Amino acid sequence: MSPEPRHRDAPPSLSILLTSWNTREQTRQCLESLAATVPPDLDYEVVAVDNASRDGSADLLARSPRVHLIRNARNVGFAAAVNQAYRQARGELILLLNSDVAFHPGALSTMVTFLRDRPEAAGVSPLYLNPDGTFQQHYVQQPSFPASLALVTALRRVPGFRQALHTFQMRGQDFSRPRRLASGSCMLLRRAALPAHHIFDERFPVYWNDAILARQLDRAGQQLWMLPDAVVTHVRGASCRLLGPAIRFRHLLGSLVGYLRLTQPGHRVALFRLVVLIDHAVKRICGRHVQLTLADLRAALRGDVGPLPDGDIRDWLIVFTRTPSTAEADQAVITESLLDDPDRRLLLVDPPAPRPRWRSRITPIDDAAWHLTPPTPLPFGARWRTADTVNRRFAAAAVRRWLDRQAGARLLRLDDDTARPVLGRVGEDEVLPAARRVPVRQRAGRD
């Protein structure tokens, strides 16, 4: 970790605590919007913590004149990074700010004025919009026990549990007026309402730390508000999606178990664990995808969230090829697929074999590409459409099992109808259209 930054003598009115992990473009937009929205008479500082980003985010922050940067040598998590920045902050007002938040004009001054005019309020959050301009529900709620079960199991389909989940998600509620709500992604807090040396409980590195903070402030009689007149755009999950589904779900579930330990009696925590285990077993028996292995699930149910990824977090481009692998064919599709974005990783998935095969095989091609030979349960897939669909879905399951152990978002490229049976089955974040020069693959495979 680099030495702690040195501050100016006069303390500012506002300290902005900015956390960053591989969101360079969002960080740039955040800093630009911040400079445009800060009132001219407001003295502020930005204390930024970068969690060992690999995309140039830290260098971008280092070049910003208002930023005091703390570079971490590893990813310590959101809660610990916020606490690091807080211990260096000097302002009487503290703004918790994710790097994927961009302010609309006047948003920050509206929040500052609200706190100054309302001494009984401990904090305030803005109205969130998605990048397309639609409303985003991103506010902290304290989940009921049925809502907690519905959040992570198939009980969400049962009417009573579904209603509890919808209540927790605040579906259909009115956000056009100030309300007693808050969100840790962008929350302006009065320092006097906070502990002296930390804001978040670091046992909750990614999820539920803001719910714990809101609960602590509420129990102390402190009010947290949401203002619809202060508007921000939020790219939800810009960093979290890079964790990969399995790591993300283990953190969500493990931290939820920790939250329930603090808020529910012991018999309910035991019941929660039992229901989640039964849900996992039923999904496995029915052939449904499960997010975690049994060992990871048991660890999460003990409250063990596991490590955060600290290595390669480049996006995955998944290409289901139409001809068996050859060195020349692989190189052709690597060149074509990485043409638009060389910073991606590529996973090439062979078509089903003509005869049954029960195991997958993963072979590295280079530091940016891997080749997966999937299992093939049914013969005659090349001539029988139903068998081909089944085989490709088995291939998608093999891809998902392997990728669930890797960090990075998933982009599925559709070359033609051969990829359509796998849609939604590899946990893809995005589906890309066909590549511009797909016939290269066909020619290379035949030459």
For residue range 278-316, list pLDDT tens digits in order. 999 999 898 787 888 888 999 999 999 998 877 677 888
Residue 329 lies in a domain: yes
Residue 408 lies in a domain: yes
Q: Tell whether the model's pLDDT for residue 437 goes beyond 50.
A: no
Cα–Cα nearest to 335, from 294, 295, 365, 298: 365
pTM assigned to the model = 0.80
**Same domain, residue pair 393 and 434:** yes
Q: Which amino acid is at 318?
A: I
* Per-residue model confidence as pLDDT tens digits over 335-385: 666 666 777 889 988 888 878 888 888 888 888 889 899 888 888 766 787
CATH code, 110: 3.90.550.10
Q: Which residues 6+ apart lie within 8 Å of 187 measured at CB?
A: 95, 96, 123, 124, 125, 210, 224
Residue 137 lies in a domain: no
Q: Residue 346 belongs to what domain range?
A: 316-446
**Same domain, residue pair 376 and 411:** yes
Point out the domain boundary residue: 255, 270, 301. 301
Q: Which amino acid is at 108?
A: L
Place of tokens 């052939």: 287
Place of tokens 């605590």: 17
**Same domain, residue pair 268 and 414:** no
**Same domain, residue pair 379 and 286:** no
Determine contact, residues 276/257, Cβ cutoff 8 Å: no
**Same domain, residue pair 219 and 261:** no
Element (H, E) at 224: strand 223-234
**Same domain, residue pair 229 and 337:** no
Count of structural domains, the chain: 3
Region of poorest pLDDT, from 112-121, 147-156, 281-290, 325-334: 325-334
* Per-residue model confidence as pLDDT tens digits over 240-267: 878 888 888 999 999 999 999 999 999 9
* Residues found in the chain: 447
Q: Tell whether the model's pLDDT for residue 134 goes beyond 80.
A: yes
- Classify the phi-psi angles of 261: left when phi > 0, otherwise alpha if psi is within -120 to 50, otherwise beta: alpha
**Same domain, residue pair 208 and 255:** no
**Same domain, residue pair 205 and 84:** yes
Q: Tell whether the model's pLDDT for residue 100 goes beyond 80.
A: yes
* CA–CA dist 299, 250 (Å, integer): 8
